[in-house]
Chains A and B, each alone.
Chain A
């Protein structure tokens, strides 16, 4: 009897917990009240007129842009409390389709539009660049690699550093876990998608750098902004990875982060303001903090 009672009681408690969870998701109804000035603490530099905006902006697409767009959304919504910007990480393809079909106000893509996509009446606005550095252990004497060599090293076709002009040491690839934006970026630019022979899959850029620093055989990839002097960034086809070479396009391992919008479709005032905010000079700092490279002005 007692046992049954305890089980029933546990069941009741669970139900009540579940019920509580349901009511907790009410949205803050601050939208209509009190504009300007009162949005305390934030460095609101924009004109007070901007904060009279209201409405909803739906964005979605590439998972790689999450950090940058997340920073945009946070800063934009702090200045414009009436606007609700959403971000749905579904992948670049879904972001472009969403923009084309009108289910998204702004599609997010971490690659340039293909010719047929652009011909279908879509506009791409690049808001940031993503540079990925190829790093090796500082004991490694390799200074320069071509894209072709990087591809061979990553897929396991090249198994010794001597094949690319380095010391007689085996090759160890240290990378990121499946789903990571940096991994997706590296694999799609070098064209080794799902073909990499990893020796380590680590869960942060910092861990990859530490992993490469700890193993003389290792090479890996990391966001340009995160690379420090514990490892050596090699030049790719003669070009050193830096903010300047990413901006002028000479550094090969890079990709654009773009907003995709439909030609002719009327953007809402809020969506327009969001794009303007993201491409303004003020957004550069957010982009750098999120580990990407601002577009050259």
Chain B
């Protein structure tokens, strides 16, 4: 008799523990779900807000006049809201940063992954990571104090704040994303590929450029797209070196990017001007969405070669 009661009590204890575990599992599941949903809700909320607050001005100005108008005079007696200068500046600025940043970044990644000795790499890699951690306002400050006067001196300009200075700053800012993603992709190239190439008599450099880089192609492209995303969304650093006048882009002209167009006028804007700033943000948002879906495309392509 006694033994059976003991068995029973042990059995019931186990059962209770199991039930408790089950409830904890359920609660934690719910917690994870709520956290996940919060992120989705934030994205959805921002999207809806951008569309709702960005559309009225576009409707009032007219989509074509807004996107392809070449003049931005938001507070003039007869205001003009054409954002083509901003769109083109953002595109040219990003392209320029890519043209300068990609070769440097890719070769750094090759160096870290294939060429450098372990000791050298262990110094360079943290330096690159540190570059990623520097706040953009610091890039802007150094750009303003050092780069802008240097550009002015070097090219004999009357004014150093220009698209070119912004491109240089952006090129450095996108290096970390290009380097780290490309390096990961290069490290993931199966060693057999390179060994086979070397066995066939190719030199190390030939192997890198004809075997390793093509094999890591989609990862490298993903890094570049990530860099584009960073460059097109950057506001603070660019605002400090670009001059912020709504000119059509020119390499040595004072220009305004999509981001800085919003940031610079927001504090005193009112009425249609303010609504138009939201519309610029909506256009920028569309650019970022496009870049993100490109990124997803290349990352997926990288998964199944």
Q: Which residues of A contact B (CB under 8 A)?
A: 6, 9-11, 13-14, 17, 63, 66, 89-90, 169-172, 177-181, 184, 193-194, 198-203, 210-211, 214-215, 217-218
Contact = CB atoms under 8 A, between A and B. Distances in A.
Interface stretch (B21-29, B71-79, B101-109, B207-215): B71-79
Contacts of A89: 270
9 contacts: A13-B41, A14-B44, A193-B76, A194-B73, A194-B75, A199-B243, A202-B244, A211-B161, A214-B145
A223 B40 CA distance: 46
A203 B149 contact: no
B128 interface: no
A220 B144 CA distance: 17
B244 A201 contact: yes
B45 A203 contact: no
Report the 4 A-B pairs with minimum CB-CB distance, sorted nearest first. Answer: A179-B268, A170-B158, A13-B41, A194-B76
A63 B268 contact: yes
Interface string B235-266: 00001000111000000001010000001110
Interface in B202-240: 239
Contacts of B161: 199-200, 211
> Chain A interface secondary structure, helix, strand, loop or mixed?
mixed
Contacts of A180: 268
Contact of A14 (B41, B76, B160, B264): B41
Interface string B76-115: 1100000000000000000000000000000000000000
B239 A199 contact: no
A135 to B, nearest CB: 16
A200 B149 contact: no
A106 B263 CA distance: 32
A17 B268 contact: no
Contacts of A13: 37-38, 41
A198 B256 CA distance: 12
Contacts of A172: 158-159
Contacts of A214: 144-145, 148-149
A178 B149 contact: no
Contacts of A198: 245, 254
Given A17-B45, A170-B158, A217-B158, A199 B273 contact: no
Nearest to B77: A194
Contacts of B40: 6, 9-10
A171 B158 CA distance: 7
Interface string B268-305: 11100100000000000000000000000000000000
A181 to B, nearest CB: 7
A9 B160 contact: no
Interface string B148-172: 1100100000111100000000000
B254 A179 contact: no
B74 A178 contact: yes
A154 B40 CA distance: 50
Contacts of B45: 14, 17
A76 B230 CA distance: 46
Which of B37, B158, B264 is packed against the most chain A CB atoms within 10 Å? B158
A181 B23 CA distance: 62
Given A215-B159, A217-B158, A179 B269 contact: yes
B116 interface: no
B37 A201 contact: no
A10 B77 contact: no
Given A13-B41, A199-B161, 20 more contacts: A6-B40, A11-B44, A13-B38, A17-B41, A63-B268, A170-B158, A178-B74, A179-B74, A179-B273, A193-B76, A199-B158, A199-B254, A201-B244, A201-B254, A201-B264, A202-B244, A203-B244, A203-B264, A215-B152, A218-B159
A6 B239 CA distance: 39
Contacts of B74: 178-179
A83 to B, nearest CB: 25
B267 interface: yes
A133 B74 CA distance: 25
B48 interface: yes
Report which residue of A13, A172, A181, A199 has the largest number of chain B beta carbons within 10 angstroms of its beta carbon.
Answer: A199
A169 to B, nearest CB: 8
B158 A193 contact: no
